[in-house]
Amino acid sequence: MFTSGIAWPRRALGVLAAFAAVVTLMAGPASAEVYQECTGATKSNVCLTITDLGSGVVRVDIGIDYHISLEDARAILAPPGDPFMAKMFGDDPSFDNFLFWVDLDPAQLGASAENGLSAGFSRTVPRSWLNEDWEGRDEVYGQVVLEDPRTGTIQRFNSPVISLNA
C-alpha cells in the first residue's frame, strides 16, 4: 500500500523523466512525445499523461490524489475490491464518446495523510485508439470513477483535455 506521502504527479514526473532518458539513450537524439495535463484542483488533482512509445503505440497514465482525511481514505480502501476505475473519452461538443478502460496499478493505490486517497492507472494501446473523430486533432480526457463502499455513492473526476494528432 502506498504510504510515502508523495503526490502522484511528482512520482509520475520522476518516472517519466527516467523513461524519457531511457528512450533517448535507446533511440538516439529523438525523444518520446509526452503530453501531460493536471487539474491542480484543491479537492482532487487528476493528471493525464500520454507518452508516445513509437511504432504507433502510446502509454496512457491517469492519476488522482483525492484530498480527504487519512481516516476516510483508509475506510474506502478497507473492504475487498477496488473502489476505483478509469477510462478514456473523446471530447466532442455534442457527445463525449467512451474510448477504452485504463488498468489500475495496484502499486499506486493507497492512503496518506498528505494526499488522502491516491490511485494510478496505466495502459499501453495503439495510438489509433485515441483517434476520436475525423476532423484532424483529437481531444481526449481521462475519467476516474470512485465508488465509496461506505455509502454506495459514485463520484467522477475528469482530467483536463489533451489535444493531439492520433
Q: What was the pLDDT predicted at 30?
A: 56
108 near 28, Cβ under 8 Å?
no
Domain tally, the chain: 1
Q: Specify if 2 maps to a domain.
A: no
Q: Containing domain of residue 113, as a range?
A: 8-164
* CATH code of the domain covering residue 116: 2.60.40.10
Tens digit of each residue's pLDDT, the chain (166 residues): 333 344 444 444 443 444 344 343 444 445 679 999 999 999 999 999 999 999 999 999 999 999 999 999 999 999 999 999 999 999 987 778 999 999 999 999 999 999 999 999 999 999 999 998 777 789 999 999 999 999 999 999 999 999 998 8
Q: Specify if 143 maps to a domain.
A: yes
Q: What was the pLDDT predicted at 133?
A: 78
Q: Specify if 38 maps to a domain.
A: yes
Q: What was the pLDDT predicted at 31?
A: 66
Please state the pTM of the whole predicted model: 0.80
3-state SS, residue 115 = coil
Q: Specify if 77 maps to a domain.
A: yes
Q: Specify if 105 maps to a domain.
A: yes
